[in-house]
Amino acid sequence: MINKVMLLGRLGKEPEVRYTQDGSMVVNFSLATDESYKKDGEKVQKTEWHKIVVFGKLAEICAKYLNKGSLVYVEGKIQTRSWEDKGTKRYITEIVASTMKMLDKKEENPEPETDTPF
């Protein structure tokens, strides 16, 4: 079975940094992807928003180098989790990123100086 997602889009806001109880960094950000098509002879553009979560060393790179509007390629898997909130069961579906590549021009968003593959 395969659970793989590939997205190319722009960050909708600044990445949000959190830490787990053991001190590991977790970064969340929203990623917008666009598609356009013709409907009744007119161009229609649709934006889809994706919730991205990143862990570990890749999270540190995202926190340091990504900003609102950054163009990035993300690979990962779809994950749905649930929790109780005041007696109501809540759900969230997000992309757990395993790979991220910054696609902005170097002067706009410099590449990290690291040997860590991403």
pLDDT value of residue 115: 44
Residue 112 has pLDDT above 60, yes or no: no
Q: 53-91 burial by CB neighbour count: b if 16+ within 10 A, else e?
A: bbbeebbbbbbebbeeebbbebebeeeeeeeeeeeeeee
Q: Which domains does the chain have, with CATH numbers?
A: 5-34+46-102 (2.40.50.140)
State the average pLDDT over residues 1-13: 97
Residue 107 has pLDDT above 70, yes or no: no
Residue 111 has pLDDT above 60, yes or no: no
23-82 pLDDT, tens digit per residue, is 999 999 999 999 999 989 999 999 999 999 999 999 999 999 999 999 999 999 999 999
